[in-house]
A and B are shown apart, each in its own frame.
Chain A
Amino acid sequence: MILNAIKIALKVLARRKFFTFISLFGTSFTLIVLVVVAALLDIFIRPGGPERNMPRMLGLYQCVMKSEGGNSTWSGSPGYRFLSRHVKTMQSPEKITIFSSHNTVSIYEGTDKYNIGLRHTDATYWEVLDFRFIEGVPFDAHHEQQASQVAVINQQTKERFFGSGSALGETIEIDGQTFEVIGVVENVPATNRSAYADVWVPIPTKKNRDYLDAMMGGFNALLLARSRSDFPAIKREYAAVLQQIDWPDPHGDFEMLGGVDTPLEVMARKFFNETEEGEVSTGVLTAVMSLAALIFMLLPSMNLTNINLSRIMERASEIGIRKSFGANSRHLVLQFVIENLVLTAIAGLIGFLGAYVILWSITQSDLFAYATFSPNFRVFAAGLLLILVFGTMSGVYPAWKMARMHPVYALKGGQS
């Protein structure tokens, strides 16, 4: 019975091309959008590449500095002085790294000019983030202390300047400084907001020493926890740190606000513009996103319900016929629900393929350098499940209405 219903459903769908197209279009389109959006969100929340340990990390990307009475407010990335004196000394995280924001600098080779992404980092950076070294090694604490002019470069930079051979021992000229290449890493996806760059050099090689006194600006920190269960303790310690800042003279009374965040919390902080809060809650953001997704998912099921209801009259005589030959209401509901499910399953397949193609195109494009987007199976499965649930619901009501039709009335085509 079920197998036959599936077979018949496929045959009917093949015959009713316009109806099939309309139904498939709505459902597939919804799934595609859902999966693509989720994949984009996902890669920021759980990035791969060197940031694959992100689930164990808290990021410090933003803080707010206020003068007494709130007359002046600076908000933006924290400064090196603040990070090195107050954050780096925190006890609860396993490791803490300080690194500069991504800066684009130009490298001249003869008359040719190349733009590269440069980062100044500490030595711990290489322990917190999980770079894949193709050759050489990262710089270490010794290099950092000595302000050694050494650099780690990515594969693309290596190929551009040094061709296919080894780059170790070669030098690269950046902004009038000469760095010796000691390591080459695989290209980093642009979606890794802390790891992405082309060239990495030790912080103390910065020519301008002003950063040493800056409380705000230019740097970020990542705090690697032993496990996620340490997050509350780390957040508490950071809050305590903010209360005991040793402000450089002649600044007088200032306060520092903000918190350390997971990627989702970063998003929630931006979404609700809660730059000054110590902790932000992600519950509302998650709820809002889920609700949006749910409402979005309701569209194709309403579409299906609508189409199904309007087809009742068209199918009245079929119902009358089936009832005359022994179909009971259960048979008919089952048949119509299966038809809906078959339709939904096909739409799911198309939706998944569509999402796959779109994500593949984004990967191929230069939108996010080196980033690979792939459909998230969990989101797809959840989306498909929802559509199946809605598909069933959208099928059940019309089916139930159809199945209850009086056989004689139905045979007359639904008109008495």
Chain B
Amino acid sequence: MTATPAAVAPPKNASKVESHRADAELPMAGEPAVPFLEIEALRAREFIPAAKEALTDLIAEQGQSKLIRPVFNWAGRNSLFPLHWGLACCAIEFAAAFGARWDAERFGVVPRSSPRQSDLMIVNGTVTWKVAHKLITLYEQMPEPKWVIAMGNCATGGGPFRTAYSVVPGVDKLVPVDVYIAGCPPRPEAMLDGILLLETLIRERKE
């Protein structure tokens, strides 16, 4: 099979594919479209020529600073690496979301075992005061830019244990939270929905 020339234009069904996604708009509304970002998927051998061509043109056209942010957002939101850890029962649903049935890896979400390699912390379970400072340490060990998803009622606001003597009533008391997912536990679909919502937020990120 010969390598096709760099396919910069979106595939024919791209608009159909994107239309149901909340992030159908381009990152900077009102600015010239960045064709590179309309590509949903490329073969590996097509990627480098396509990227090179698109970037060269665009840098010449728009200057570097306007380009860097959308490209980084595009790369970041399609390769979210959550920290692989579990705090309570929600971790079971977290694990199920990476199994065969829901397969969160479709969205580029791959759990990593080290906070140094993660950019997303999914707080999946009850946070106790005992584990609070370890959670903060892990968060601080993650490289910037980083995001936090509070998964389940416990992480959102303490859940059924809100008034318990040992439970942090919401992980937002400890670290800044970007997305809250309701449910006790949230189903894996809900977790994937939260991740897609986070991707929308990253797409709109400006600085």
On whether the two chains bind one another, the answer is no
- Which B residues are within 8 Å of any A CB, using their own CB? none
- Which A residues are within 8 Å of any B CB, using their own CB? none
